[in-house]
Amino acid sequence: MIMFHARKFFSKKGDKNFTVESYQEYESILQAHHNSKNSQKLWNYFLEIIKQEYFKDIVVFLRKKYKMPRNGFEPDFVNGRYRYRFPPDAWIYKDDLQKIQELENEIIEKICKKYRLHYFDFSDIVLRFLFFNSVRHLAFEGCSLFRVCDVVEEKNPFNKKVWELVQRSDDIAYPIAIRISPYASKNDLIDFIKNNVIWEQEIEFLQNKYKDKDIKIGKVKSKNKEVQERNDFIYKNRHKTLKEIGKLLADRNIFLDDGHISKIRSLERQKRKEV
């Protein structure tokens, strides 16, 4: 998939040659998307998704169906570093292109479509999770809430079949577009978006048209890592009594009263039912 993204970039630039300089420019753009606040917002949403019982059930189902270990494969350890090979050498279907395509299609149908995630980008992230039980925030365009595209160029794709799939994915992840004149400045664009009438009556109006009531990306907040680990620990031990959970927390030098533990447990249960 990474090579596909690179080809999209070079087609935008009109550059058919993969030079070191042009590829570095491509990587810098992806990194800018990756470092943006809106990308982190979407990533926090995905981190909540993988805690859902539905997601966990699908992972168990797909690993069993495609003959993977229940907890995924172990990555290779080479020269003191872990290497995540796609697909893993130990996977029985590693050379079966049809099976690999079937698996990717199931990820798209069962995960990406349900949670309105970009097919090409998040299917790779879910595939990594299936193979290695590892979550990594990859620097892809579709892992953010915005995407820049050449509308004219997209009418002349280099691979029509692949491009149709990309368009369907874009239609789910980015159904609204602001078409920009080549003569508009950065300030022109900012001024346009800041206009309350345009934002509320055009942009927000269309957003509401395509919003799914079960998708709540805007309500997912970034949490302190230690707080999230504490909450995950409480959820993991949710079937124990409040006193038992309190004692386990105290063993970790975390001291909460029963009411606080009960509230966290209830919120974590609710979060895992719907994002």
DSSP state of 108: I
* pLDDT per residue as tens digits for the range 185-197: 999 999 999 999 9
> pLDDT under 70 in the chain at which residues?
1-18, 20, 23, 138-142, 157-159, 218-224, 273-275
pLDDT at 250: 87
Backbone torsions φ then ψ of 82, nearest 5 degrees: -80, 135
Is 113 in contact with 172 (CB distance < 8 Å)?
yes
User: Where do the DSSP E strands lie in the chain?
Assistant: 76-78, 81-83
Compute the distance between CA of residue 54 and CA of residue 274 in angstroms, rounded to an integer: 9
Query: Which candidate, 95, 195, 84, 189, places its Cα nearest to that of 132?
Result: 84
E-strand spans in 48-138?
76-78, 81-83
Q: Which amino acid is at 122?
A: F
Q: Tokens representing 267?
A: 């919120």
The answer to whether residues 143 and 1 touch, using CB atoms and an 8 Å cutoff, is no
CA-wise closest residue to 254 among 230, 232, 236, 235:
230
Structure tokens given for 83: 């290497």
Q: Which residues contact 260 (CB under 8 A, 6 or more apart)?
A: none
Distance separating alpha carbons of residues 45 and 217, to the nearest angstrom: 6
Per-residue pLDDT, 253: 84
pLDDT of residue 159: 66
User: What pLDDT is attached to residue 274?
Assistant: 53
Provide the token pair at 200: 């509320």
Q: Look-up: residue for tokens 């059930």? A: 57
Q: Please give the pLDDT value at position 105.
A: 93
What pLDDT, on the 0 to 100 scale, is given for residue 251?
87
CA distance to 58, 82, 84, 92, 222, per residue, from 54 (Å): 6, 29, 26, 26, 22
pLDDT above 90 covers a percentage of the chain that reads 37
* pLDDT recorded at residue 4: 43
Q: Answer yes or no: pTM beyond 0.85.
A: no
Facing residues of 78 across strands?
Answer: 81
Distance CA 237, CA 251 (A): 14
User: Could you state, in order of their start, the residue ranges of all structural domains in the chain?
Assistant: 2-143, 223-273
